[in-house]
């Protein structure tokens, strides 16, 4: 618990808002999605997930591991979303470990250029944060957003490799 508090303080001191972002893609996502209404009545990371799904108008989501309660929560706010075993739109990773990174990011053939990987609780423990840092270093990863409560991974080949820490 103390580790998470220090991680939060360090995050707040090193993070930016939209004014520290030079990428048009990320700036638009932050200002038109993360900082914009609506604000769903749910946890911070689930609020970010719901806003991301709505902003990118995603239809297919893969939950790793499967989570019926989260499916119901998403469907409560967003209609027309389906849950699949393989998605090339959004993969929600709730429990981060090496096997999950290998299976769903590194060796995942269904990942497209526009795919998003949503990693929940990247500061849960020192080990999960180290795994998050290892994801950022992967060659196929171009953009990451560290939002403290979660992390977003983008594969956009047309973009320069950048990592952002954003306060929300």
Does pLDDT of 83 surpass 70?
yes
Tens of pLDDT, residues 4-21: 888 898 898 888 777 677
pLDDT at 38 over 70: yes
Pair of tokens at residue 67: 């989570």
Q: Distance (Å, rounded) from C-alpha 34 to C-alpha 14?
A: 19
Average pLDDT value for residue range 30-34 = 93
Percent pLDDT > 90 in the chain is 73
Task: Name the DSSP class of 166.
Answer: B
Three-class DSSP category at 135? helix
Tell me: pLDDT of 151 over 90. yes
CA distance 97 to 105: 12
Q: What is the 3-state secondary structure (H, E, C) of 24-60?
A: HHHHHHHHHHHCCCCCCCCCHHHHHHHHHHHHHCCCE
pLDDT band at 162 (very low <50, low <70, confident <90, very high): very high
Q: Residue 109: its pLDDT value, please?
A: 85
Tokens encoding 108: 């995942």
Q: Is the pLDDT of residue 127 over 70?
A: yes
Ranges of each domain in the chain = 2-165
Q: Which CATH class is domain 2-165?
A: alpha beta
Return the SS3 of 102.
helix
How would residue 1 be classed by pLDDT, with cut points 50, 70 and 90? low
State pTM to two decimals.
Answer: 0.92
């Amino acid at each position: 618990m103390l580790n998470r508090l220090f991680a939060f303080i360090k995050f707040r001191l090193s993070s930016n808002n939209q004014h520290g972002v030079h990428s048009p893609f990320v700036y638009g996502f932050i200002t038109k999605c993360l900082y914009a209404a609506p604000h769903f009545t749910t946890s911070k990371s689930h609020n970010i997930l719901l806003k991301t799904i709505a902003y990118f108008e995603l239809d297919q989501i893969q939950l790793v591991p499967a989570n019926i309660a989260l499916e119901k929560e998403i469907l409560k706010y967003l209609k027309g979303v389906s849950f699949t075993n393989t998605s090339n739109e959004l993969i929600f990773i709730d429990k981060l470990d090496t096997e999950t990174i290998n299976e769903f990011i590194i060796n995942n053939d269904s990942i497209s250029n526009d795919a998003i990987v949503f990693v929940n609780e990247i500061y849960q423990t020192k080990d999960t944060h180290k795994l998050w840092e290892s994801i950022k270093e992967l060659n196929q990863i171009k953009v990451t957003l560290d939002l403290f409560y979660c992390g977003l991974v983008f594969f956009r080949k047309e973009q320069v490799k950048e990592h952002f820490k954003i306060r929300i």
